[in-house]
């Protein structure tokens, strides 16, 4: 029994039903918390069974949108639901022990939803940098499917050239010279290894270490980040061009392997979290589970469900 | 049927080290409902994570509570390490668990003292706290602090413990065993203590499970859940660990479980000292948690399971840090345990959940 964590999306409409199913299945309620996001408030409901912690995420709850309390099933949630209401402004309904805004009675309404402009700007910058990095990492994966660029490795398209010129305009003359030299070396290398498909596809992956080492610079200047990365990319290419071809091919193959492994890990993660939620929390499944319980327990769950559904 | 009235209990009360208020609805001398009210020491520490970077926040995390300080810094660091995919050296894992178990020893002895005070045994209270001082001395010698230690950092620990110091650990812990046994005898065999606690504040196992209770409070109701069995960190290297449970489900059982957990923690410390590997005590941690990265973690604090959640946003500041402390989870259990008890037993029952209000409110 080892610790495992999962994050699973859940619809708001399914929330109370899901809690009922989890209770019947013997999951232990851990906690509820809220996270402020651009799209509203994300509510997390954590449950544990046999060392497995599943965090159900109800995303984007809007102001004024009613959220049913689960305290009729898990009384321990009352503190967290009161907290979500006071600190995040979530409209929690029917909490068993309702403090009605007097739990912490904060001086400022919904204090956890306040984000300063500086924080917002820093987050936006980091998000853009991450998206740029993801796009760069994704591009080489598609490259082998293309016809000519995959065979020949690096190809300077007019769009690329235009983007590069814009970046070069912001750089120092020494750096510009270095990039230009590296580019020439890269083009020469691409022409030389045109028929070598293995190194051709691996070449495109060479941006991986540059992307890794770039992390520290992300926060310094968003505009300079992409340019720095391009320069590092070019530096690496220049270094590879001066290396023994056999050694360069090995380095490229290793980099390609590393990138492929990280891609595989990214793909595996969401797959593990996916569960057939709609089926799991369907009526028939719930009825079957309630049928397995003793009468007293089944009555409690049925009563809670009926009350929520207004029967 | 007697007349119903409401008795306010706390927030200032001799039995409570921290402010907790209860509205006790009583009928004659019997409590028919207890409504807890907290919020007197809310400091908004979870909000502070947005203005302190993930390395600085560790010092905030351990200031959540003076008793669980080490556990919070460890739990926070583990969560951030999981968020960033950092693997810490084995020696650091061992050192963390040794200090953490030492925290459990001092926390449980502190609680036993408070319990003695609650049922009017002041000399016993004094002896418990005197014994606890020797444990705090070990903290002072190895970390420099008695309450706030600041030895954990993201990526490992700040200080190592050498062999001579480990020998002092063992001699001190072995040295307190005899005295501790005498104190425990007073708690567990004295008829006046037994009469005051046995059968009081009953929570049957099924209710404890339904109320999602954690820690010694749950284990005293025969719920065999202890985060340490998950084998996180150095706990995975223990040759044998099984949670201490009791089937009595009352205040006496809660005392019994905590009393037995102290020698168990001492055994864990001694085993890990014998097994601790040589090597580094920290790894450098660079970069920032990725955008929208999420991680959660559980740690067995002296009062029970503590849950941590962290969300990154690509900057060095976390988007959200959540600590769900054991007391906030046990408040529902406390409210249920109080229903039907005598007014005179309220202080005993409230104390046996070992409420930590600073943790609960953060």
- Could you tell me the CATH number of the domain that includes residue B307? 1.10.645.10
Domain annotation covers residue B43: yes
What integer pLDDT is reported at residue A302 of this predicted model? 77
Interface of B with A in 226-265 (CB under 8 A): 229-232
The rounded distance, in Å, linking the Cα atoms of B346 and A142 is 68
Residue in this structure with the two tokens 């593990």, named with its chain if needed: A272
Q: Do A33 and B319 touch (CB under 8 A)?
A: no
Average pLDDT over residues A60-86: 88
Domain annotation covers residue B18: no
Beta-carbon contacts of A102 under 8 Å, excluding residues fewer than 6 positions away, are B37, B39
pLDDT band at residue A269, thresholds of 50, 70 and 90? Answer: very low
Residue closest to A1 by CA, chosen among B236, B215, B303: B236
Beta strand pairing call for B21-27 and A40-49: unpaired
Question: Domain of B301?
Answer: 39-361
Select the residue from A74, A80, A104, A270 to test the B interface by mutation, using most B Cβ atoms within 10 A: A104
Residue in this structure with the two tokens 């596809």, named with its chain if needed: A201
Calculate how close chain A gets to B97, using CA atoms only, in Å. Answer: 17
Determine the angle formed by the axes of helices A173-192 and A158-168, rounding to 10 degrees: 160
What integer pLDDT is reported at residue A151 of this predicted model? 41
The rounded distance, in Å, linking the Cα atoms of A234 and A227 is 10
Q: Report yes or no: B164 and B215 within 8 Å, Cβ to Cβ.
A: no
**Which candidate from B39, B231, B330 shows the least CB-CB separation from A105?**
B39
B298-350 residue pLDDT tens: 999 998 999 999 998 888 888 888 988 888 888 888 888 888 888 888 888 88
Calculate how close chain B gets to A122, using CA atoms only, in Å. Answer: 7
ipTM of the complex: 0.88
Between 3.30.460.80, 3.30.413.10, 2.40.30.170, 3.30.230.10, what CATH number should domain A4-114+277-308 receive?
3.30.460.80
The rounded distance, in Å, linking the Cα atoms of B236 and B277 is 14
Determine which of A103-107, A291-295, B135-139 has the lowest per-residue pLDDT on average. A291-295
Q: Which residues of B touch A53 (CB under 8 A)?
A: 296, 298
Q: Searching chain A, which residue's CA lies closest to the CA of residue B309?
A: A33
Burial degree of B171 (CB within 10 A; 0-12, 13-18, 19+): exposed
The CA angle B208-B213-B219, to the nearest 5 degrees, is: 75
**Residue B39 sits at the chain A interface (C-beta within 8 Å):** yes
Q: Do B291 and A102 touch (CB under 8 A)?
A: no
Average pLDDT over residues A72-95: 88
Q: Report yes or no: B361 and B45 within 8 Å, Cβ to Cβ.
A: no
pLDDT band at residue B133, thresholds of 50, 70 and 90? Answer: very high
The domain locations on chain A are: 4-114+277-308, 117-270
Domain annotation covers residue B26: no
Domain count, chain B: 1
> Residue A311 pLDDT > 70, yes or no?
no
**Residue B322 sits at the chain A interface (C-beta within 8 Å):** yes
The rounded distance, in Å, linking the Cα atoms of B53 and B315 is 9
Q: Do B329 and A216 touch (CB under 8 A)?
A: no
Average pLDDT over residues B68-72: 89
pLDDT band at residue A270, thresholds of 50, 70 and 90? Answer: very low
Domain annotation covers residue B344: yes
Average pLDDT over residues B152-161: 91
Domain annotation covers residue B167: yes
**Residue B35 sits at the chain A interface (C-beta within 8 Å):** yes
Determine which of A113-117, B14-18, B241-245 has the lowest per-residue pLDDT on average. B14-18
Domain annotation covers residue B14: no
Domain annotation covers residue B141: yes
- 3-state SS, residue A26: coil
Average pLDDT over residues A165-179: 76
Average pLDDT over residues B13-37: 84
Calculate how close chain B gets to A308, using CA atoms only, in Å. Answer: 19
Q: Which residues of A touch B361 (CB under 8 A)?
A: 104
What integer pLDDT is reported at residue A199 of this predicted model? 41
Q: Searching chain A, which residue's CA lies closest to the CA of residue B41?
A: A104
- pTM, to two decimals: 0.73
Calculate how close chain B gets to A16, using CA atoms only, in Å. Answer: 16
Determine which of A87-91, A216-220, B3-7, B29-33 has the lowest per-residue pLDDT on average. A216-220
Beta strand pairing call for B320-324 and B304-311: antiparallel
Average pLDDT over residues B151-177: 91
Q: Report yes or no: A35 and B320 within 8 Å, Cβ to Cβ.
A: yes
Beta strand pairing call for A66-68 and A91-93: parallel
What integer pLDDT is reported at residue A308 of this predicted model? 65
Select the residue from A32, A76, A221 to test the B interface by mutation, using most B Cβ atoms within 10 A: A76
What integer pLDDT is reported at residue A6 of this predicted model? 86
**Which candidate from A31, A44, A126 shows the least CB-CB separation from B315?**
A126
Determine which of A60-69, A118-127, B53-62, B293-302 has the lowest per-residue pLDDT on average. A118-127
Beta-carbon contacts of A273 under 8 Å, excluding residues fewer than 6 positions away, are A6, A7, A8
Determine which of A261-275, B35-49, B111-125, B144-158 has the lowest per-residue pLDDT on average. A261-275
């Amino acid at each position: 029994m080892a610790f495992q964590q999962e994050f699973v999306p859940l619809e708001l409409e399914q929330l109370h039903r899901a809690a009922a199913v989890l209770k019947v299945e013997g999951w232990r309620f851990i906690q509820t918390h809220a996270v402020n996001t651009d799209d509203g408030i994300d509510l997390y409901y954590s449950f544990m069974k046999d060392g497995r912690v599943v965090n159900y995420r109800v995303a984007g709850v809007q102001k004024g949108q009613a959220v049913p309390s689960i305290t009729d099933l898990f009384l321990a949630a009352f503190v967290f639901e009161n907290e979500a209401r006071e600190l995040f402004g979530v409209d929690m309904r029917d909490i068993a022990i309702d403090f009605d805004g007097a739990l912490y009675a904060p001086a400022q309404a919904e204090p956890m939803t306040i984000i300063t402009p500086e924080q917002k700007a820093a987050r936006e910058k980091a998000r853009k940098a991450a998206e740029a990095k993801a796009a760069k990492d994704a591009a080489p994966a598609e490259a082998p499917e293309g016809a000519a660029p995959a065979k020949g490795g690096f190809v300077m398209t007019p769009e690329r050239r235009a983007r590069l010129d814009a970046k070069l305009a912001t750089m120092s003359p020494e750096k510009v010279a270095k990039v230009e030299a590296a580019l020439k070396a890269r083009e020469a290398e691409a022409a030389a290894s045109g028929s070598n498909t293995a190194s051709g596809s691996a070449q495109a992956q060479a941006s991986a270490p540059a992307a890794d080492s770039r992390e520290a610079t992300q926060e310094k200047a968003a505009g300079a980040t992409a340019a720095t990365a391009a320069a590092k990319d070019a530096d690496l290419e220049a270094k590879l061009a001066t290396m023994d071809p056999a050694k360069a091919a090995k380095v490229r193959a290793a980099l390609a392997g590393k990138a492929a492994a990280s891609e595989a890990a990214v793909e595996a993660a969401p797959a593990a979290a996916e569960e057939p939620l709609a089926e799991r929390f369907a009526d028939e499944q719930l009825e079957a589970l309630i049928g397995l319980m003793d009468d007293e327990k089944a009555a409690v769950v049925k009563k809670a469900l009926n009350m929520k559904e207004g029967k | 049927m007697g007349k119903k009235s409401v008795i306010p209990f706390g927030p200032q009360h001799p039995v409570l080290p921290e402010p907790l208020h209860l509205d006790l609805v009583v009928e004659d001398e019997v409590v028919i409902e207890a409504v807890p009210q907290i919020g007197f020491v809310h400091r908004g520490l979870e909000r502070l994570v947005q203005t302190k970077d993930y390395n600085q926040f560790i010092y905030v995390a351990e200031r959540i509570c003076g008793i669980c300080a080490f556990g919070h810094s460890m739990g926070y660091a583990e969560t951030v390490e999981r968020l960033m995919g950092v693997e810490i050296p084995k020696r650091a894992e061992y050192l963390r668990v040794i200090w953490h178990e030492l925290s459990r020893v001092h926390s449980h002895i502190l609680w036993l003292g408070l319990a003695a005070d609650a049922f009017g045994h002041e000399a016993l209270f004094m002896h418990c706290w005197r014994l606890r001082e020797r444990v705090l001395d070990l903290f002072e010698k190895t970390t420099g602090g008695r309450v706030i230690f600041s030895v954990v950092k993201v990526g490992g620990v700040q200080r190592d413990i050498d062999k001579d110091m480990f020998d002092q650990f063992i001699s001190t812990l072995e040295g307190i065993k005899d005295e501790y046994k005498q104190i425990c005898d007073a708690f567990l065999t004295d008829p006046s203590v037994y009469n005051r606690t046995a059968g009081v504040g009953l929570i049957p196992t099924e209710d404890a499970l339904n109320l999602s209770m954690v820690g010694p409070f749950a284990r005293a109701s025969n719920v065999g859940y202890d985060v340490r069995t998950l084998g996180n960190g150095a706990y995975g290297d223990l040759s044998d660990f099984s949670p201490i449970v009791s089937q009595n489900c009352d205040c006496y059982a809660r005392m019994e479980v905590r009393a037995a957990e102290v020698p168990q923690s001492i055994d864990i410390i001694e085993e890990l000292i014998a097994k601790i590997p040589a090597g580094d005590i920290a790894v450098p941690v660079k970069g920032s948690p990725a955008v929208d990265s999420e991680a959660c973690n559980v740690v067995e604090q002296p009062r029970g399971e503590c849950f941590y959640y962290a969300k990154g946003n690509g900057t060095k500041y976390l988007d959200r840090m959540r600590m769900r402390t054991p007391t906030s989870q046990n408040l529902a259990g406390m409210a249920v345990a109080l229903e039907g008890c005598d007014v005179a037993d309220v202080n005993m029952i409230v104390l046996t959940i070992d409420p930590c209000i600073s943790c609960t409110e953060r």
